Amino acid sequence: MATATFTIVDDLNFFLPRQHKNKPITHSWDWKASIKDMIESFGVPHPEIDLIVVNGKSVDFEYIMQDGDEVYVYPVPYFLTHPLANKKRIIPEFEGRARFILDTHLGRLASYLRMMGFDTLYRNDYPDDELAEVSNAEQRILLTRDIGLLKRSLVLHGYYVRNTNPRKRLHEISKRYHLIDHIEPFKFCMKCNGQLNRVDKADVADQISPKTAEFYTEFHQCDACKQIYWKGSHYVKMEKLLDEVINSEAFD
């Protein structure tokens, strides 16, 4: 029977049962096991891991566990600062502007991310298989409240959303993925994720109320679902929310 000691660092303790939090875990096994499978057996999904150090050397997910191994598992962003990190990340850094796909529990967050100008797929009937497949095929960050979904091998970039309050969730994701530097408000339809385009008031006059037509001159329309947007009271509320996210992140 082989035995190894695991130390799960900082935020990754969130995934551990109470008896294992913030203390070394001694684990025994009698089969050929990859370090990825063993770490995930404790509850930690691989997309949340930024660095694994075994016996003083960084390794990747394919490393086969050996008797007597001493393992340290680090969350994002330890790769940037840890002296034992390889030049190549254990999970490649997400390239380009952040794009998301969200599970059924995160509908309000999807609307908020679209409001901030981020391409965000969401349906309330996405099966887990499709979420993992689309995340992989389209290189989207999978946001979920399902830890098991994050453990699927197809998922490369993903994150378990900790908060339950929608506004706090937005701040959490904005901080995690440094979104405030890339906000483009009202670029995407909050309803369906279609592109918003400027339209003449005359072209949508029959789709808005006379009062709206009287007080507003600038309109945008979704090229997919045809939803119409203007800078009314809803716009003011969304701007206030964006200011809250930006300011709260600035003073963290």
pTM for the model stands at: 0.91
pLDDT digits (tens, 9 = 90+) for 230-244: 988 777 888 888 788
**Angle, CA of 41, 45 and 50, to the nearest 5°:** 120
Considering 62-71, 75-84, 165-174, the range whose residues carry the highest mean pLDDT is: 62-71
The pLDDT mean for the chain works out to 92
Q: How far apart are CA 61 and CA 37, in angstroms?
A: 8
**Least confident piece of the model among 103-112, 140-149, 177-186:** 177-186
> d(Cα 26, Cα 7) in Å, to the nearest integer?
9
Q: What is the 3-state secondary structure (H, E, C) of 5-62?
A: EEEECHHHHHHCCHHHCCCCEEEEECCCCEHHHHHHHCCCCHHHEEEEEECCEEECCC
Ordered by where they begin, the domains of the chain are 2-80 (3.10.20.30), 100-250 (no CATH)
Question: pLDDT tens digit string along 54-78?
Answer: 999 999 999 999 999 999 999 988 7
- Cα angle 118, 178, 122 (rounded to 5 degrees) comes to 30
pLDDT class of 83 with cuts at 50, 70, 90: confident
